[in-house]
Amino acid sequence: MVQIAVLGYGTVGSGVVEVIEKNKDMVNKKSAQELNVKYILDLREFPGDPYADRVIHDFDRILEDPEVTILCETMGGVGAAYQFTKAALERGKSVCTSNKELVAKHGPELLKIAKAHSCNYLFEASVGGGIPIIRPLNYSLTAEKIEAVTGILNGTTNYILTKMEKEGADFDTVLKEAQEKGYAERNPEADVEGYDACRKVAILSSLMMGKNVNSEHIFTEGITRIAADDFCYMNALGKSIKLLAMSRAIDEDSALTMVAPFVIDKQHPLAMVNDVYNAVFVTGNMLGDSMYYGRGAGKLPTASAVVSDVVDCARHPGRVIMCFWDEEEVKLLDVAESERSFFVRVKDCPAGSGRLNELFGSGDLIRLPGRSADVGYITPVIKEKDFLSSYEKLGDTALGRIRIFS
Ligand code: HSE
C-alpha cells in the first residue's frame, strides 16, 4: 500500500481525494498497488466530511511518518507550500503539485533537490489543468527539437473573449457576468492581466528549452483593452482574438516569450478553442504541429492530473522520472525588437489611409459598411518599437491596437 498525504483540502485537494476514491480500481491497478490517503493537512476542520478523521494541522506528522512516500501539494502560493515541498523532497518523499506559481518560481531548484534524494517533483496539473502537456513535453516528444509552444492557457480570459466575440458584448459586462456565475475570481487581475498565463508559459518554455525561463522577465499584456468594436472587424476579416502565451526558441540559449492578446486566423486550430477550454500548440522540428486540448481548470480535471503524477510515482518507487529543466537562465529577447503586423483601429478622419500609410508604411485600410465612427487598418510587418512610436503619434484618434499572430 502507498500512503499519501494531501496538503490543502480546497477545491483541487478535495478533488484529489475524490479521484482516488472514485477511480480506485483503475488507479490502484495502474499504480500496481493500493493508494491510501493517510493525512489531509489543512488549517480548517471538516466536520461531517467522510475524510474528517484524516485531517491534521501539523505538517511535521507527515514529514516524520516514514510510511508516507507521496505528497500532493494543492495549497497554492509560494510560502508554506515551498517550505513543505522542500522539506518533503529532502526526506525523499515525492511531491505532486498543481501549484503553477511555485513551479514557475522554484521549479529547477525543487527538481534538483528531488533528484539528489531519489524522488520526484511532478507538476502535470500546473499547466492546462487536466490536459496532459508536461508529460508529452518531458517524455513523449523526446525525439523532437521543440521550436515553439503557443497556448491558450487561461480559461477565464478565453471565456471572456469568446463571449465578447459571440455576443458583441464589451469587456466589463462579460467580466461582471463571469464573476456572477463564478467563472471569474472576484479579484480577476491575475487572469485578465495575463499573469496566470505568464507563469504557465514560463513552465512550458523552460521545458522546451531545458533551461529556466524566468516568469518575471516575460513580456505580459492582458485583455482589458480589447473592445467589442474590435470584434466587428474580426468577424468581417474571418479572424478571432485570443490571449496567447507563446515561446519561440531562437537558439539553444535564447527565446522570444510573451503573453498578449493576438489576432488569429479563424482557421487556426487555436482559434477554435472556445469558452473555458485551454490548448497548447507545440511545434517540433520532425513532427511539425501537434495540439493538446481540454479542460484547463476545475476541481476534477486538475485533480486527475495530480493523481496521474501520483500513479507515476507509485509505479516507479526510487526512480527519478526524466525532466530537463536546469537552473541556467534562458536569455529572453526584447519584444520591442520583434517584428509582426498589427491591427489598428482609429477614429475615422478625412486624411484616411494616407496618414496611416505615412506612419506605418503601406498597409490595408478596412472600412466596414454602416460604420462611420472608426476604420480598421492592418500594418505591414514592422518592428514592435517602431510600431509603438508611430502609434503614439496617432494621439487621441487611436482607438486600439492588437498584434497579429503568424
Ligand atoms: N484562473 C485559472 C484560469 C485557473 O482561468 O484558467 C487555472 O489555473
Q: Between 88 and 350, where is the model more confident?
A: 88
CATH of span 336-404: 3.30.70.120
| pTM greater than the 0.85 cutoff | yes
Of 221, 256, 244, residue with least CA distance to 147: 256
Torsion of CA 140, 319, 55, 38, to 10 degrees: 110
Distances in Å between the alpha carbon of 97 and those of 78, 120, 252, 277, 302? 12, 11, 28, 21, 10
Whether pLDDT at 250 is above 70: yes
State mean pLDDT over 220-239: 97
Which pairing describes strands 55-56 and 35-41: parallel, antiparallel, or unpaired?
parallel
State mean pLDDT over 312-337: 96
pLDDT band at 164 (very low <50, low <70, confident <90, very high): very high
Whether pLDDT at 352 is above 80: no
Start-to-end Cα distance in the chain: 51
Q: Is 76 in the pocket of ligand 1 (CB under 6 A)?
A: no
Q: Is 374 in the pocket of ligand 1 (CB under 6 A)?
A: no
Q: Which residue's CA is minimally distant from atom 8 of ligand 1?
A: 297
State mean pLDDT over 272-296: 97
Residues annotated catalytic, as ranges: 200
CATH architecture of 2-129+299-315: 3-Layer(aba) Sandwich (3.40)
Whether pLDDT at 89 is above 90: yes
- Report the C-alpha gap between 113 and 110 in whole angstroms: 5
Whether pLDDT at 372 is above 90: no
pLDDT per position as a tens digit, 149-161: 999 999 999 999 9
Domain ranges of the chain: 2-129+299-315, 135-295, 336-404
CATH architecture of 135-295: 2-Layer Sandwich (3.30)
pLDDT band at 350 (very low <50, low <70, confident <90, very high): low
Closest atom of ligand 1 to CA, residue 157: 5
Residue 182 Cα to ligand 1 midpoint, Å, equals 12
For 58, other C-beta atoms within 10 Å of its C-beta total: 10
Residue 220 Cα to ligand 1 midpoint, Å, equals 16
Determine the pLDDT at residue 351: 61
User: Pocket of ligand 1, candidates 101, 152, 196, 215: which has the most ligand atoms within 8 Å of its Cβ, to mutate?
Assistant: 196
Residue 121 Cα to ligand 1 midpoint, Å, equals 21
Whether pLDDT at 133 is above 80: yes
Q: Is 196 in the pocket of ligand 1 (CB under 6 A)?
A: yes
Closest atom of ligand 1 to CA, residue 159: 5
Residue 305 Cα to ligand 1 midpoint, Å, equals 15
State mean pLDDT over 9-30: 98
Distances in Å between the alpha carbon of 120 and those of 72, 146, 263, 299? 12, 24, 40, 23
The H or E element spanning position 13 is helix 11-22
Q: Is 154 in the pocket of ligand 1 (CB under 6 A)?
A: yes
Residue 218 Cα to ligand 1 midpoint, Å, equals 18
- Report the C-alpha gap between 164 and 223 in whole angstroms: 11
Q: Which residue's CA is minimally distant from atom 4 of ligand 1?
A: 297
Q: What share of the chain is helix, strand, coil (3-state, %, to 5)?
A: 40, 25, 35
Cell numbers found for residue 192 = 485578465
Whether pLDDT at 353 is above 90: no
Kindly report the average pLDDT of the chain as a whole number: 96
